[in-house]
Structure 1
Amino acid sequence: MLEGLFYLFAFCVILSGIMVISALNPVHSVLWLIVAFTSAAVLFILLEVDFIALIFLIVYVGAIAILFLFVIMMLNLTDLGSSFQDMSNYMPAGFIVGVIVFFEVLIFLSWKASGIPEVINYFRWDYIEKASNIEALGRVLYTDYYYLFLLASFILLAAMIGAIVLTHDIRAEIKRQDSFIQISRQLM
């Protein structure tokens, strides 16, 4: 029963992922993206990784996909899908990426069949079996991978500062607030 549900939602993720890149209307593409994220969250729930599933729903569906949808609607990009575009130029790149992913899956399956994961005891399975998912994820993230966590935060900070600098406009016709003039008016 659970295996059938797993394959159903895995097929749904693959199908909706294909529809994200093949939909001509940007709004339909974002809606298929929401379906892909939701199906991936159900897959995580079936794998009993509830924390990651909820993070998927909150961060990706609740924030990013809805943000994409609002940006598309505010910029009125819905008429871009009306003209048919030739997508055959992207087929070779998509085929190459698909072949690479297929061979990576084959390599992983060959490693799994040969028993290499039992030899490599990197993940401290004894601790993970005793702790909850959230505690184990927090310990690994904040102890073993803290430098990558800090690096990601600095990259996000640089992206935020870059977006502010790029959108900051210093034209003369824009009215700016001068607090000194406002305060001096009230004192007189």
Structure 2
Amino acid sequence: MEGLFYLFTLGVIISGIMVISALSPVYSVLWLIMAFVSASALFILLEVEFIAFIFLIVYVGAIAILFLFVIMMLNLTEETIGDDMSNYLPAGFIIGVVFLFEIFIFWNGTTDGSQMVLYWVVKNTNIEVLGRVLYTDYYYLFIVASFILLVAMIGAIVLTHDTGTEIQDRKRQDIFVQTSRQLWQEV
């Protein structure tokens, strides 16, 4: 288990470095997805399954894929990005030193580690407990949230729907003409 922990930790670190050092934004987003997947595997090893699955669903399933589609639609090339990244090295070095300094202070501040670990002994897993609470005690909030998301989805469809009255030369699909043409070709 300890070997897997160090493997996924190394995966998160290498993926994070590749996110900021990749020249192509598409490759950068793909490395970001790899970092999220490795972090999710770390959470599973730490037995925090709910956070791991939320990480996968929210970050990989929604945000990273959205970034990927936006970058692909912008059609960025390497000429528009530029190759000189040496201007960013001093700021990145300072931020890295500050983060390492904070980690060092936090690591030396705790003596035995019992202050930051909270044990909640139950016979069920985290997902079962959260599912029971969500679907029994807070079911009405869950239903209200689903209706709000449904209204938002319908609103986005209505706002983006174009009636097209001012555009006369738009090609429209006529199913009757298409099917009758196919019938005439078969005869």
TM above 0.5, yes or no, is yes
Q: CA deviation at 1:82?
A: 7.2
Question: 1:81: how far off?
Answer: 5.7
**Unmatched tracts of structure 2, length 5 or more:** 134-155, 160-164, 167-187
Give the AA of the match of 2:126: N
> What SS does structure 1 have at the residue aligned with 2:23?
coil
Please tell me whether residue 129 in structure 1 is matched to residue 121 in structure 2: yes
1:80 Cα deviation from its structure 2 partner? 3.3
2:104 maps to which residue?
Answer: 106
CA RMSD of aligned residues (A): 3.1
Residue 69 of structure 1 aligns with an amino acid whose one-letter code is: L
Q: Does 1:61 align with 2:60?
A: yes
Task: Provide the secondary structure at the position in 1 that maps to 2:121.
Answer: helix
1:49 alignment partner AA: V
Report the Cα offset of residue 42 of structure 1. Answer: 0.5
Matched with 2:177 is: none
Tell me, yes or no, if the aligned pair for 1:19 and 1:29 is still in contact at 8 Å: yes
- How many percent identity over aligned positions? 60
2-structure distance, mates of 1:14, 1:81: 28
Instruction: Give the deviation of 1:107 after TM superposition.
Output: 1.2
Question: CA shift at 1:108, angstroms?
Answer: 1.5
SS in 2 for 1:74: helix
C-alpha change, 1:27 and 1:64, in structure 2 (3 Å) is same
- Change in CA separation of 1:83 and 1:65 when aligned onto 2, cut-off 3 Å: closer
Corresponding residue number in structure 2 for 1:14: 13
Q: Report the TM-score when normalising by structure 2.
A: 0.62
* Aligned residue number for residue 47 of structure 1: 46
Cα distance, 1:133 vs. partner? 2.8
Alpha-carbon deviations, 1:45-74, whole Å to 9, x = none?
Answer: 111110011011100111011111111111
- Runs of 4+ displaced beyond 6 Å: none
Distance 2:79 2:39 in 1: 27
Q: Secondary structure at the match of 1:129?
A: coil
Contact 1:26 1:81 in 2 (8 A): no
**Paired residue secondary structure (1:85):** coil
Q: Following superposition of structure 1 onto structure 2, how do residues 165-176 of structure 1 map, counting pairs within 5 Å? A: none
Q: How many residues align?
A: 137
Supply the AA of the counterpart residue of 1:16. S
TM-score (norm 1): 0.62
SS at match of 1:19: helix
Q: Which amino acid in structure 2 is aligned with residue 129 of structure 1?
A: V
Partners of 1:25 and 1:82 within 8 A in 2 = no
Residues 37 and 81 of structure 1, relative CA distance in 2, 3 Å threshold: farther
Determine if contact 1:24/1:82 at 8 Å carries over to the other structure. Answer: no
Which has a greater percent of helix?
Answer: 1
| Structure-2 change in CA distance of 1:75 and 1:82 (3 Å) | closer
